[in-house]
């Protein structure tokens, strides 16, 4: 095990009996056919089970839908990449020259996949309890500060529920512009509600994202009374 891996092991609080597993977990497919994709598959399954099991115990009165939203808020590319950055995982990745030049050490998809690969490697090396302990250490703060199930509903859902509760019709979303190249498009969307003079706008890299932003702004304005005549 190299000295650079030693620093990572200290942050993981885990010692491998088979160090090659860690090396494989940190190897991107751009380097070798022996890479972290299979370990990522395994780690993803273990991670989802451990978090689901923990939420089931922590939230005994939560519905299935609420538990699903809670898990999704914890287990996603953004949160995994953030944890990977805290571990400085990017500095230990084995990447091909193309990925290195394009900033692969900082890319969310590569970081999150590698972290799941590490979880899979720990499972193979030390068993379920070792992998569970690692996951709970990494997610400790996030599990300690869980948001409410209502907060986790997306803005479009929250806006719809608010309008239904106040007797207003459902919102309408209209794409007003699409700019940029095919792989870097920016969508602009307007959200309107019949009988409400306010029209709100959202902009994002996807139509859904732009709709969510427009819905969020509309909901904020309605709650503040700015959408009333």
- Supply the residues annotated as catalytic: 44, 116
Q: Which residues pair with 172 in a beta bridge?
A: 192
- Tokens for 145, please give them: 């500060």
- Whole-number Å distance between alpha carbons of 122 and 8: 13
In 3-state terms, what secondary structure has residue 177? strand
- Whole-number Å distance between alpha carbons of 36 and 67: 29
Is residue 211 within 8 Å of 191, Cβ to Cβ? yes
- Whole-number Å distance between alpha carbons of 40 and 77: 13
- Whole-number Å distance between alpha carbons of 119 and 183: 32
């Amino acid at each position: 095990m190299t000295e650079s891996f030693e620093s990572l092991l200290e942050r993981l609080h885990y010692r491998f009996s088979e160090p090659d597993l860690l090396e494989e977990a940190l190897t991107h497919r751009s380097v070798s056919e022996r890479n972290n994709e299979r370990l990522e598959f395994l780690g993803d399954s273990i991670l989802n089970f451990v978090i689901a099991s923990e939420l089931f115990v922590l939230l005994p009165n939560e519905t299935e839908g609420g538990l699903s939203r809670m898990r999704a808020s914890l287990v996603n590319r953004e949160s995994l990449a953030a944890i990977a950055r805290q571990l400085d995982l990017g500095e230990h990745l084995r990447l091909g020259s193309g990925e290195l030049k394009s900033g692969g050490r900082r890319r969310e998809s590569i970081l999150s996949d590698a972290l799941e690969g590490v979880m899979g490697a720990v499972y193979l090396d030390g068993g379920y309890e070792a992998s569970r302990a690692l996951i709970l250490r990494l997610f400790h703060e996030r599990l300690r500060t869980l948001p409410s199930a209502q907060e986790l509903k997306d803005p479009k859902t929250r806006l719809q529920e608010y309008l239904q509760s106040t007797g207003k019709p459902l919102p309408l979303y209209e794409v007003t512009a699409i700019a940029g190249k095919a792989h870097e498009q920016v969508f602009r969307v307007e959200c309107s509600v019949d009988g409400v003079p306010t029209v709100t706008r959202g902009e994002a890299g996807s139509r859904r994202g732009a709709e969510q932003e427009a819905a969020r702004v509309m909901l904020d304005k309605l709650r503040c009374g700015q959408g009333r005549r």
